[in-house]
């Protein structure tokens, strides 16, 4: 006697719960970003006065954190619910958004390679705009200070760029003590000093440029970043490839699960 087993289409539990686990990480990361962003805004009093968001002419890093948090939270939620409830609409939304982000990253990388001069001009403009708002936001200030200190640079093209800021501008009528100076992050650190001298950049640009080399970094941050990239190209490429592989893996899981669900629905229709 022979027994025949007819295989019916079914949703793979492996793909279903693997996609759920994949997205729960996204969702939790999104929650963490949102919590950090809202906490930072509450510390700066933005939540009680939303006009402060538009008052900053440079980049508020908290806005970037919140945008990333919202995107990750939304995608993680759609992927988790879509996988558990086998909801094709949510899965297609998750998959389509990941594909869009992946193509956008690829386009940006290609454009940055093909139009390097244009990218350099935009970066210069972006950095100068943020220099103008250096004293307006503590988070922006910390990012610029970290960038200058880590890369041993000062300003976008050089220390003179700090004339874009009203507090450091040599030609302004401001009575600021920082006039014609640079932030302390531009100063060459003294290994003997255990405490950071936040006044080390005062009046430095009143001196001749020959004296700058011994006290502050004279290389612009754009040139420093251009020199940093070739030295760390393998790290940058590795990070880009790792992110791309994670995105492709998520797309594969979502598309496979969608195919399984559609096959089950088609079989039940007959």
Scored b (16 or more CB within 10 A) or e, 189-212 reads: eeeeeeeeeeebbbebbeeeeeeb
Q: Over the chain, what is the mean pLDDT?
A: 86
Whether 58 shows a pLDDT value over 70: the answer reads: no
Confidence at residue 29, expressed as pLDDT on a 0 to 100 scale:
93
Q: What residues does 216 pair with on adjacent strands?
A: 187
Distance between CA atoms of residues 267 and 251, nearest Å: 24
- pLDDT tens, position by position, 225-235: 888 888 888 89
Has residue 97 been placed in a domain? Answer: yes
Has residue 143 been placed in a domain? Answer: no
Confidence at residue 269, expressed as pLDDT on a 0 to 100 scale:
63
- Stretch 147-166: mean pLDDT, rounded? 93
Residue 214: pLDDT band by 50, 70, 90 thresholds? confident
Distance between CA atoms of residues 129 and 113, nearest Å: 24
With tokens 């244009």, the residue in question is 118
Confidence at residue 2, expressed as pLDDT on a 0 to 100 scale:
42
Confidence at residue 159, expressed as pLDDT on a 0 to 100 scale:
94
Confidence at residue 49, expressed as pLDDT on a 0 to 100 scale:
57
Residue 247: pLDDT band by 50, 70, 90 thresholds? very high
- Stretch 126-151: mean pLDDT, rounded? 89
Has residue 111 been placed in a domain? Answer: yes
> Tokens standing for 65?
């954190």
Distance between CA atoms of residues 176 and 200, nearest Å: 15
- pLDDT tens, position by position, 78-106: 999 999 888 999 999 999 999 999 999 99
Confidence at residue 57, expressed as pLDDT on a 0 to 100 scale:
60
- pLDDT tens, position by position, 16-40: 889 999 999 989 999 999 999 888 8
Has residue 85 been placed in a domain? Answer: yes
> Tokens standing for 43?
């510390």
Has residue 28 been placed in a domain? Answer: yes
Distance between CA atoms of residues 131 and 142, nearest Å: 12
Cβ-proximal residues to 33 (8 Å cutoff; 6+ apart), any chain: 65, 66, 68, 69, 72, 73
For residues 179, 203, 224 and 141, what is the CA-based torsion angle, rounded to 10 degrees? -40
Whether 260 shows a pLDDT value over 90: the answer reads: no
Burial of 237 (0-12, 13-18, 19+ CB in 10 A): exposed
- Split into its structural domains, the chain has a count of 1
- Stretch 57-69: mean pLDDT, rounded? 82
Residue 4: pLDDT band by 50, 70, 90 thresholds? very low
Has residue 94 been placed in a domain? Answer: yes
Residue 5: pLDDT band by 50, 70, 90 thresholds? very low
Confidence at residue 3, expressed as pLDDT on a 0 to 100 scale:
40
Has residue 189 been placed in a domain? Answer: no
> Tokens standing for 155?
């300003």
Q: Determine the structural domain holding residue 251 and report its residue range.
A: 13-46+58-115+233-268
From 9, 77, 68, 12, select the one nearest 255 (Cα to Cα).
12
- Stretch 240-267: mean pLDDT, rounded? 89
With tokens 């909801």, the residue in question is 87
Whether 124 shows a pLDDT value over 50: the answer reads: yes
Has residue 79 been placed in a domain? Answer: yes
Confidence at residue 135, expressed as pLDDT on a 0 to 100 scale:
87
Confidence at residue 238, expressed as pLDDT on a 0 to 100 scale:
92
Q: How many residues does the chain have?
A: 270
CA angle, 72 then 257 then 248, to 5°? 50
Contact 169, 183 (CB under 8 A): no
């Amino acid at each position: 006697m022979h027994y025949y087993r007819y295989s019916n289409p079914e949703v793979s539990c492996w793909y279903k719960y693997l996609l759920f686990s994949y997205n729960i990480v996204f969702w939790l990361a999104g929650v963490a970003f949102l919590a950090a962003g809202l906490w930072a805004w509450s510390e700066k009093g933005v939540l009680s006065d939303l006009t402060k968001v538009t008052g900053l002419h440079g980049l508020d890093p908290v806005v970037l954190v919140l945008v990333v948090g919202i995107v990750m939270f939304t995608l993680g939620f759609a992927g988790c619910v879509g996988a558990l409830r086998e909801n094709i609409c949510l899965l297609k939304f998750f998959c389509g958004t990941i594909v869009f982000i992946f193509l956008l990253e690829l386009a940006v990388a290609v454009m940055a390679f093909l139009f390097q001069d244009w990218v350099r001009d935009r970066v210069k403009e972006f950095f100068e705009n943020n220099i103008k708002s250096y004293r307006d936001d503590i988070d922006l200030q910390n990012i610029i200070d970290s960038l200058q200190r880590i890369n041993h640079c000062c300003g976008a093209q050089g220390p003179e760029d700090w004339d874009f800021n009203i507090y450091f501008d040599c030609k302004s009528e401001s009575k600021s003590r920082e006039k014609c100076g640079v932030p302390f992050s531009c100063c060459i650190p003294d290994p003997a000093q255990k405490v950071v001298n936040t006044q080390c950049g005062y009046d430095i640009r009143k001196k001749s440029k020959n004296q700058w080399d011994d006290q502050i970094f004279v290389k612009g941050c754009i040139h420093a970043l251009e020199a940093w990239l070739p030295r760390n190209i393998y790290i940058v490429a590795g990070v880009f490839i790792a992110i791309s592989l994670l995105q492709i893996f998520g797309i594969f899981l979502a598309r496979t699960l969608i195919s399984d669900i559609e096959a089950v629905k088609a079989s039940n229709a007959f």
